[in-house]
Every structure is written in C-alpha cells, then in structure tokens.
Amino acid sequence: MTVKPIALVVAAGVVASGLVLGTLNPAQGKGGGGGGGNTTETRIEARLVPSVNTPIAGVEGEAERRTRVGDDEFKVTVEFPLGSTVTDVTAHLSRANTPYADCTLVQDLDETLVIEFKVDIRNRGVLQSKKGSCVATGTTTPNILPQVLAGDTISITVNGNAGALTGTFVNH
C-alpha cells in the first residue's frame, strides 16, 4: 500500500497502531475507480470458525480487508440460522496479541434466508460506515477503518460469549 506524502508523517504512527482515521486517509485517486492502468488489489481474509464458546449451532462468518487505488474496504459478516436469538455481535481485532480495534456488527435486514450481522466500512475518498462501526480499542474514536495485516486475529463475541468465532487473516 502506498501512502501519499501529505499523510506520511501522521500515517506512520497511525499504521503502527493498526488503524487509520477518516481524516488521515486522503483519496489516492480521482474519479472513483474504473479504467486507468493501476488496478492492483490487495485482499486479506479470515474465515471465522466456531469455537466451543459458540452459543448457537450452525453459525459461520468471514472477514475481509480489500485495498485498491482510491478504494479501501473492511467487512465482517456473521450468519446465524433462522430462528436464532441474537442480540449482540462484536468483533475484536488483534496484532501480536495486542488488541487494536473493536467493531459493532448490526443486523442486515435485507437477508431473508439467514440472520446476518455485518460491519462494512469503506473509504473511497470519504470514510463511510455502510453498516456497523469500528473504534480503536480503549477509545471512543468513532469510525475507524482497521488496517488489517496478514497474521492479525479476529474474535467474535455473540450475546456476551467471547471467542464464539475466531480467525486469522491471510493474504488472498
């Protein structure tokens, strides 16, 4: 990932902590994608695997960070079988056993075959929380876009049951 020079000084400390605030991540291109010669995409994904702490059978999920010129996106999706009682779903991101971001997932009411909770944060020149939100761990700084790296871990808490699903991000 290349960082524009105007953000280099500020971004150096922020990237080391694992997050970028909306005001620190300027658009890297004009026009919102499409065409152009540089279409390099970086994807880092984690398959979320249920653990013995999973309160609901049949739950599954995935997380993804995708970057392209002018487009940066972080998503977490957790699906529960219909009829499940789910009131609270959060994601916790860590690097080298140090927590750096906490995300609140919200129910996606567009789904009819499963109960789906999501967080979807994008930066296409403007930081936008499409669903849910993420904050830097231990702060109330709103609307961060977690800068996930391969090897980072994710743990999902469901209805207060920590570690209900877990995963490790890998390059894709």
Look up the CATH number of the domain holding residue 64. Answer: 2.60.40
Q: What pLDDT is attached to residue 143?
A: 77
What gap in Å lies between CA 61 and CA 49, rounded to an integer? 7
Overall number of domains in the chain: 1
Confirm whether 36 is domain-assigned.
Answer: no
Phi, psi of 167, rounded to the nearest 5 degrees: -165, 165
Confirm whether 112 is domain-assigned.
Answer: yes
**Collapsed DSSP state (helix, strand, coil) of residue 17:** helix
User: 132 lies in which domain range?
Assistant: 5-25+41-171
Q: Which of 8-17, 56-65, 76-85, 147-156 has the lowest mean pLDDT?
A: 8-17
Confirm whether 152 is domain-assigned.
Answer: yes
At residue 75 the predicted structure's pLDDT band, cuts being 50, 70 and 90, is very high
Confirm whether 32 is domain-assigned.
Answer: no
Confirm whether 75 is domain-assigned.
Answer: yes
Q: Which of 93-102, 120-129, 152-161 has the lowest mean pLDDT?
A: 120-129
Q: Is the pLDDT of residue 171 over 90?
A: yes
Which phi-psi region, left, alpha or beta, contains residue 73 (left: φ > 0; alpha: ψ -120 to 50)? beta
Helix %, strand %, coil % of the chain (to 5): 10, 50, 40
Q: Is the pLDDT of residue 149 over 70?
A: yes
The mean pLDDT of the chain is 79
Confirm whether 48 is domain-assigned.
Answer: yes
At residue 38 the predicted structure's pLDDT band, cuts being 50, 70 and 90, is low
Percentage of the chain lying above the pLDDT 70 cut: 77
Confirm whether 30 is domain-assigned.
Answer: no
Confirm whether 58 is domain-assigned.
Answer: yes
What stretches of 3-113 show up as alpha helix (H) in DSSP? 5-17
Kindly state the average pLDDT of the residues 94-102.
Answer: 95
